[in-house]
Amino acid sequence: MDKKTLKHNTKQILLLVSFLLTSFLHSQNIDFENALSFYEIEKYQESLNELNKIDTLNISDYDKATWYFYYADVQSILDKHDKAYQYSRKAEQIFESLNEREDAIDTKFLILSIVDHQNSLGYDEQPIIDDILSYAVEENDSITLMKIYFRIGHTFTLNDNREKAIHYYRTILKNTNDSLNIAYANMNVGTVYSTITPTNQDSSLYYSKKAITTLIKQNDLEILAANYNNQAEAYYYKKEYRKAIQYLLKADSINLNKNDKKTRIIFYEHLAKNYDSIRDYQKAMLYYRKKMKLSDSINDLSQNLNIIDINEKYKSVELKAEATKKNTQLIISLIVLALVIISAYLLQKNTRKKQLLAEQAKDLEAQKVTNLLKEQELASIDAMIAGQEKERQRIAEDLHDDLGGLMATINLHLENIGSENNPKALDKTKTLLGEAYEKIRSISHIKNAGVMASKGLLLAVNDMAAKVNASNQIHIEVIDYGLNERLENSLELSLFRMIQELITNIIKHAEATRATIQLTQHSQDLNIIVEDNGKGFDSKNIEATGIGLANIEKRVIHLNGKLTIDSTLKKGTTILIDIPLDK
């Protein structure tokens, strides 16, 4: 199987975390209690049996739509996605006709989940996504908005649009305090770094591992299995095949009650390719056969054809309704357009004045923060000079007190070399010279400790961020992982200067309100991520930006590192620096 197909499967399993499961509707007229009770304890076949006992011929339209919804949801979990699609479209159609908008939106989420489990379907999801997004904005429904952001981010991941995918996942992270949603978003960011070029498998593992504790605590087994699979894919691309196999076996050991067959098809395919990579062809063939056996039992192709046929029937009905709707919309649009033109003309002058005042205020605040950084740098230089002067004075005293007397003694012994009164003068002179050498070496080591020795990289970065945050114009968050030991002094100083210059650029040019500095030390390298929510720039021509990134790039190259700039206009900037550590 080619690499492109493998990546598609990796993104496909992301559905387990990128889609928040639609909760059941609550009907008031007929009793779904038995079916729901089996559903809640994950006995889905028993739940389906209870649904089949309900007489759907003599119930209200709303209850019938509710029954269709339940039936489609359970069929989807049991990997019967053609049936699930058929009944979910019936539920959607009835809810729309009854103007039960919220229930219709829940059903649309279910439809998206169903079609995502079908490989090579070619289903156009955009109209459904647009409809849900429009509803969330109109109703100011933050929960629905977050759910559809997960969905949109997933779509951009499948389309290899790294910037937009990460934008939507980070928007979720900024706007939720729910631990599970934070874990899901972090996993998705990890998948983006793992599958979209240029890939960064260390960043992928970092974000995936951040979610593990929450998933275990919440006993979210399906998502935990997906997390292990995603980590295994990262290790596969790092060519750490045995570690990848270890995580895949952990994923396969988890009891999956939802979409078990299609999920395990992905696990088995990944196990086969990893065993193939370590030339264990017997196990590779074993898991390939397991995958083929499950694929044959599901018959994905037949389900795809049924879904396509059902979709075409619904489209023909929708096209007729759309023609009538467009005529009404055209009249409304013309009226709205006229009102917009009049309003824009009246507001133009007032808006321009407010914009000029806001720009002036922004420039003043940016200047304040720039001055604060300059003052900090001057204070650091003054402290360094004072420290150097104190160090020189101490060295002079050591030279006078310790080495002065020692050298005088050496001179006396030199004068006695060859004298009959002191036959051991030469040996004593050698001993004293060795002692003098050790004292000089000790003084040299103390001197070379350097200015950064008094603080260290992490403390210096936190101190700089605290001073900038005091301006209340931009908030900088510092996140560290694995920095348990100090680095070599000159390396720490060089890294601090690069981070300081990046923060200065953000303050002066980015127009950002938030920035993050992430420092992650692995066994063999140091990873630095500096990102902001500012206006971004054209990263294809960094020399034309005039913000000093070319100088930073030269410093990184000098340290045998790698600099990656990820910036989109009006979307913010992410700069990644990877520096190898020479142990």
Residue 567: is its pLDDT beyond 60?
Answer: yes
Domain membership of residue 567 (yes or no) is yes
Residue 381: is its pLDDT beyond 60?
Answer: no
Same domain assignment for residues 293 and 360 = no
Please report, for residues 235, 392, 398, 431, the alpha-carbon distance to residue 404 in angstroms, rounded to integers and kept in the order given.
61, 16, 9, 16
- Residue 279's pLDDT is 92
Q: Please give the distance of CA 403 from its chain centroid, rounded to a whole number.
A: 59
Same domain assignment for residues 17 and 163 = yes
Cα–Cα distance, 171 to 184 (Å, whole number): 13
Q: Residue 529 forms beta bridges with which residues? A: 518, 576
Single residue among 448, 469, 487 that ends a domain in this structure:
448
Residue 243: pLDDT band (50, 70, 90) is very high
Same domain assignment for residues 124 and 157 = yes
Contact by Cβ (8 Å): 209, 235 = no
Residue 58: pLDDT band (50, 70, 90) is confident
Which candidate, 149, 158, 91, 157, places its Cα nearest to that of 119? 158
Structure tokens at 397: 């005293």
Mean local confidence (pLDDT), 9-31:
45
Residue 14: is its pLDDT beyond 60?
Answer: no
Residue 6: is its pLDDT beyond 50?
Answer: no
Same domain assignment for residues 75 and 151 = yes
Same domain assignment for residues 223 and 320 = no
Same domain assignment for residues 461 and 420 = no
Mean local confidence (pLDDT), 267-285:
91
Single residue among 402, 422, 448 that ends a domain in this structure:
448
Domain membership of residue 281 (yes or no) is yes
Cα–Cα distance, 305 to 574 (Å, whole number): 43
DSSP string, 380-448: HHHHHHHHHHHHHHHHHHHIIIIIHHHHHHHHHHHHHTT-TT-TTHHHHHHHHHHHHHHHHHHHHHHHT
Q: pLDDT tens digit string along 172-207?
A: 888 888 898 899 999 899 889 988 888 899 998 999
Same domain assignment for residues 405 and 438 = yes
Tally of CB atoms within 10 A around 23: 9
> Which domain covers residue 352, as residue numbers?
315-448
Same domain assignment for residues 477 and 395 = no
Residue 509 is classified by DSSP as I
Residue 275 is classified by DSSP as H
Listed in sequence order, the DSSP H helices in 32-178 are 33-40, 44-52, 61-77, 81-97, 101-116, 126-138, 142-158, 162-174
Q: pLDDT tens digit string along 113-122?
A: 887 776 656 7
Same domain assignment for residues 432 and 461 = no
CATH of the domain at 268: 1.25.40.10
Judged by average pLDDT, the poorest of 89-93, 101-105, 138-142, 359-363 is 359-363
Higher-confidence position of 317 and 359: 359
Domain membership of residue 304 (yes or no) is no
Higher-confidence position of 153 and 323: 153
Cα–Cα distance, 281 to 555 (Å, whole number): 46
Single residue among 421, 448, 475 that ends a domain in this structure:
448
Cα–Cα distance, 3 to 203 (Å, whole number): 20
Mean local confidence (pLDDT), 7-14:
45
Q: pLDDT tens digit string along 395-445?
A: 666 665 556 556 756 765 676 676 665 667 677 677 778 777 776 766 655
Report the chain's mean pLDDT, rounded to a whole number. Answer: 79
Burial grade of 274 (CB within 10 A; 0-12, 13-18, 19 or more) = buried
Highest-confidence segment of 8-17, 200-209, 337-346: 200-209
Domain membership of residue 310 (yes or no) is no
Residue 276 is classified by DSSP as H
Whole-model pTM? 0.45
Judged by average pLDDT, the poorest of 33-37, 215-219, 390-394, 473-477 is 390-394
Cα–Cα distance, 175 to 116 (Å, whole number): 26
- Residue 241's pLDDT is 94
Residue 546 is classified by DSSP as -
Higher-confidence position of 385 and 217: 217
Structure tokens at 518: 């992430």
Q: With pLDDT > 70 as the criterion, what percentage of the chain qualifies? A: 75
Domain membership of residue 83 (yes or no) is yes
Please tell me the number of Cα atoms within 13 Å of 51 on its side-chain side: 24
Cα–Cα distance, 201 to 398 (Å, whole number): 52
Residue 28: pLDDT band (50, 70, 90) is very low
Q: Which element (helix H / strand E) includes 377?
A: helix 300-398
CA angle 177, 182, 188 (to 5 degrees): 155
Q: Please name the residues in contact with 271: beta carbons below 8 A apart, sequence gap of 6 or more.
A: 245, 248, 249, 252, 283, 284, 287
Structure tokens at 234: 């990262």
- Residue 540's pLDDT is 73
Q: With pLDDT > 90 as the criterion, what percentage of the chain qualifies? A: 16
Tally of CB atoms within 10 A around 278: 13
Highest-confidence segment of 329-338, 427-436, 491-500: 491-500
Tally of CB atoms within 10 A around 452: 22
Length of the chain: 583
The four Cα atoms 137, 142, 143, 144 give a dihedral, to 10 degrees, of 10
DSSP string, 183-198: HHHHHHHHHHHHHSSS
Residue with tokens 């070319």: 550
Residue 448: is its pLDDT beyond 50?
Answer: no
Residue 19 is classified by DSSP as S
Cα–Cα distance, 227 to 221 (Å, whole number): 10
Number of compact structural domains in the chain: 3
Mean local confidence (pLDDT), 447-476:
75
Domain membership of residue 284 (yes or no) is yes
Q: Is 435 left (phi over 0), alpha (psi -120 to 50) or beta?
A: alpha
Same domain assignment for residues 510 and 369 = no
Q: Please name the residues in contact with 110: beta carbons below 8 A apart, sequence gap of 6 or more.
A: 22, 69, 72, 73, 76, 84, 88
Domain membership of residue 463 (yes or no) is yes
Q: Please give the distance of CA 267 from its chain centroid, rounded to a whole number.
A: 23
Same domain assignment for residues 325 and 258 = no
Domain membership of residue 199 (yes or no) is yes
Mean local confidence (pLDDT), 208-214:
91
CATH of the domain at 496: 3.30.565.10
- Residue 380's pLDDT is 59
- Residue 517's pLDDT is 94
Judged by average pLDDT, the poorest of 20-24, 70-74, 357-361, 378-382 is 20-24
Judged by average pLDDT, the poorest of 5-9, 55-59, 273-277, 352-356 is 5-9
Residue 496: is its pLDDT beyond 70?
Answer: yes
Same domain assignment for residues 9 and 27 = yes
Looking at residue 379, its amino acid is: A
